[in-house]
Amino acid sequence: MDKTILVDELLPIFKDGLTIMIGGFMGVGTSAKLVAALMESNVKDITLIVSDTATPEKGVGPLIVNSRVRKLIVSHIGTNPETGKQMIAGDIEVELVPQGTLAERIRSGGSGLGGILTPTGVGTSVAEGKEIIRVDGRDYLLETPLRADVALLKAKKADKSGNLVYNRSARNFNPIMALAADLVIAEVDEIVEIGEIDPEDVVTTGILVDKILV
Amino acid sequence: MVESSNNVKGIIAKRVAREMNDGDVINLGIGIPTLVPNYLPKDVNVILQSENGFIGLGPLSEVDPDLVNAGGQPTGINPGGAFFDSLFSFQLIRGGHVDVTVLGGLEVDACGNLANWVIPGKMVAGMGGAMDLVTGAKKVIVAMEHCSKKGSSKILEECRLPLTGKGVVDLIVTELAVFSVTDEGLVLEEIQEGVNLETVLDKTEAKFKIR
């Protein structure tokens, strides 16, 4: 099955109010083409799950600047002043999550778990309203799973079945998000025939990837 | 004597470098901590972990847009390094596989509490990976200037800002002094060269014992 898709075919998929996960760290490993397609589709009221909001120009920054996001689940917003401004003005709801906890919540959402127990955030404001569970004398926070309607990934290379290989530090959140969304779309720099990627080198199996944009 | 800002940062980084042992796996926060490798003795080789997904962070040789450090700046990777995803990166951090983390601080207190991610009403940066780092690293060193820009002590009896971690700090290194955090509170381990005890007492809000 050929999973390749054109930008125009993507646009009807994007609808107001979707929960979307986007890979990347400071914009590295974020699909610029898929973010641009989201912009072009004019969707709004997105719930966005992402490591950080990069800068106003990079990564998911343009989605913030153009007020497409209603709720943000994120670990860092300090490098994009627009996020903080909208948050203080009450225009965007921001749930700040420690980065390791964010990764584990996405993992649990993608792997059929009811959440994870982490010591991160015990004794801080992150613990507010959360159940504390004591295991072998240590306190852990119960952190709940995260899933999305759509995950937008960026990889270096795909074969036509959707097997993905990443590039250097651009891997980050992409492989985890591939497990945790109903529809997974990956932008890749290069697409090759099935069999050209050694199974030993596949990082994200094609069974998780629905659409590929070159 | 008024030290230039660069000088102050160098003094702090140089002293932090002495805490590193050959073979340690280290995670460095942005700012002063990134200067630490410049001051490592020749016989101390450490392995730098970058929480955005690799081990073996090294000097920049060629700019690759897909290879950045945890501050988003172009960087290099040393031979023997490895790339991985964010999940594995934080498994290393939380799982106790990182020997030392060095972070900046807005406030530290006598109980080893650290605040460095938010100033209510002013700055909301987000905690990024800092909360996981202070929870999981075997040793947590705060490397920061002793006082705020306004001149008030950043070493307090009790943090006033929202915490990054509770009771997590092991060592505080400033341009004036080095304190360890013990069960009995802060202990002054060292005074930096050219600084006298009166200055440290004057500039430190928290009570401390003198070793």
HEC readout, B16-32: HHCCCCCCCEEEECCCH
B66 reaches A (C-beta below 8 A) = yes
What pLDDT, on the 0 to 100 scale, is given for residue A31?
Answer: 98
How confident is the model at residue B87, as a pLDDT? 98
At A183-204, the pLDDT tens digits run: 999 999 999 999 999 999 999 9
Query: Is it the case that residue A56 has pLDDT exceeding 50?
Result: yes
d(CA A205, CA A207): 5
What's the rounded Cα separation, in Å, for the pair A92 and A106? 21
Whether B42 shows a pLDDT value over 90: the answer reads yes
Closest CA to B68 of A168, A93, A121: A168
Provide, as residue numbers in chain A, all residues whose Cβ is less than 8 Å from the Cβ of B67: 168-169
Nearest CB to A171 within list B51, B83, B163: B83
The alpha-carbon gap from B170 to the nearest alpha carbon of chain A, in Å, equals 17
Closest to B179 (Cα-Cα) out of B205, B155, B203: B155
Contacts with B83 (C-beta within 8 Å, 6 or more apart), sequence order: A166, A168, A169, A171, B53, B54, B77
Q: CA of B99, closest CA in chain A: separation in Å? A: 17
Topology classification of domain A4-114+146-213 = Glutaconate Coenzyme A-transferase (3.40.1080)
Q: Please state, as a whole number, how many other Cβ atoms lie within 10 Å of the Cβ of residue A22.
A: 27
Chain B residues 76-95 within an 8 A CB cutoff of chain A = 77, 83-87, 89-90, 93-94
Burial zone of A129 (CB within 10 Å; 0-12 exposed, 13-18 middle, 19+ buried): exposed
Domain of residue B170, CATH code: 3.40.1080.10
Task: Give residues with Cβ within 8 angstroms of A128, minimum separation 6.
Answer: none
What are B185-195's pLDDT values in tens digits?
Answer: 999 999 999 99
Collapsed DSSP state (helix, strand, coil) of residue B190: strand
Residue numbers of B annotated as active site: 51
Which candidate in B132, B134, B164, B169 is best for mutational testing of the A interface (most A CBs within 10 A)? B132
Q: CB neighbours of A13 closer than 8 A, spacing ≥ 6? A: A150, A183, A185
Q: Report the candidate in B51, B116, B75 with the shortest Cα–Cα distance to residue A100.
A: B51
Cβ A26–B52 below 8 Å, yes or no? yes
CA A80 to chain centre: 17
Which residue in A has a C-alpha nearest to residue B71's C-alpha?
A26
Q: Which domain holds residue B50?
A: 5-210
pLDDT confidence of residue B121: 83
Q: What is the pLDDT of residues A100-128, one digit of tens each?
A: 999 999 999 999 999 999 999 999 999 99
C-beta atoms of A26 and B68 within 8 A = yes
Count of CB pairs separated by less than 8 Å, A with B? 143
Residue A183 near residue A21, CB atoms below 8 Å: no
Report the SS3 class of residue A199.
helix
Question: What digits encode the pLDDT tens for the residues B71-85?
Answer: 999 999 999 999 999
Residue A133 has pLDDT above 50, yes or no: yes
Beta-carbon neighbour count of residue B191 at 10 Å? 15
pLDDT exceeds cutoff 50 at B1: no
Token pair, residue A71, equals 């709720």
Say how far apart CA B206 and CA B175 lie, in whole Å.
16
The ipTM estimated for the assembled molecules is 0.96
User: Per-residue pLDDT for B3 more than 80?
Assistant: no
Average pLDDT for residues B53-57, to the nearest whole number? 97
Grouping H, G, I as helix, E, B as strand and the rest as coil, residue A99 is helix
Q: Which one of B50, B131, B162 has the shortest CB-CB distance to A120?
A: B131
**What does the alpha-carbon distance between residue A144 and residue B97 come to, in Å, rounded to a whole number?**
25
Question: At CA A170, angle to CA A2 and CA A192, rounded to 5?
Answer: 25
Nearest-angstrom CA–CA distance, A172 and B70: 11
Cβ–Cβ under 8 Å, residues B70 and B51 = yes
How many structural domains compose chain B? Answer: 1
d(CA B13, CA B31): 10
Q: Are B106 and B161 in contact (CB under 8 A)?
A: yes
What's the start-to-end Cα distance of chain A, in Å? 16
The DSSP secondary structure of B51-120, one letter per residue, reads: TTTEEEEE--SS--TT-B-TTS-B-EEEEEEEE--HHHHHHHHHTT---EEEE--SEEETTS-EE-SEET
Q: Name the token pair of A175.
A: 């492989």
**What pLDDT is attached to residue A18?**
98
% of chain A surpassing 70 pLDDT: 100
Q: A147 with A108: CB under 8 angstroms?
A: no
Q: Supply the pTM of this predicted model.
A: 0.96
Which residues are A4's β-sheet partners? A212
d(CA A10, CA A211): 9
Residue B110 in this model has a pLDDT that exceeds 90: yes
